[in-house]
């Protein structure tokens, strides 16, 4: 069950931002319905999810639940000092091969987290 930590209505940009803990896939479905039924005068709607999940299979479920693009944290969560070009190519290929057609790919590179992991700090 998701716990809503806080909710902010940003009327200037016509968006609702919720900060949650323990989000479930069912919440993604509800948010998708809410976002795409809000009466606003814009034609493009895009749902971006910041999801920290440990597996590619679990991350892909957020696409299936309605997110246009769940953030891909494979690099900052798994990269270490042993990673080379082949490892990065494998990570990119794995994401692209599992991603549903018509959705958006992405790769988050968190400089601070990567530096700590690569440098062993």
Tens digit of each residue's pLDDT (9 = 90 or more) over 64-93: 888 888 888 887 777 777 888 899 899 999
The C-alpha atoms of residue 69 and residue 120 are separated, in whole angstroms, by: 30
Phi-psi category of residue 15: left, alpha or beta, with phi > 0 → left and psi -120 to 50 → alpha = beta
The C-alpha atoms of residue 51 and residue 47 are separated, in whole angstroms, by: 12
28: tokens are 């993604």
**Which DSSP state fits 43?**
S
Q: Tell me the pLDDT band of 104, cut-offs 50, 70 and 90.
A: confident
Tens digit of each residue's pLDDT (9 = 90 or more) over 22-77: 567 888 888 888 888 878 777 778 888 877 666 788 888 888 888 888 888 887 77
């Amino acid at each position: 069950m998701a716990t809503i930590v806080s909710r902010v209505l940003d009327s200037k940009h016509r968006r609702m931002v919720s900060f949650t803990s323990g989000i479930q896939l069912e919440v993604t479905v509800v948010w998708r319905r809410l976002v795409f039924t809000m009466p606003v005068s814009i034609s493009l709607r895009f749902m971006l999810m910041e999801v920290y999940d440990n597996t590619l299979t679990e991350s892909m479920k957020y696409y299936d639940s309605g997110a246009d693009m769940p953030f891909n944290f494979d690099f900052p969560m798994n990269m270490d000092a042993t990673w080379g070009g082949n490892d990065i190519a494998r990570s990119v290929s794995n994401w692209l091969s599992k991603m549903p057609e018509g959705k958006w790919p992405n790769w988050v590179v968190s400089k601070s987290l990567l530096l700590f992991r690569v440098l062993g700090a």
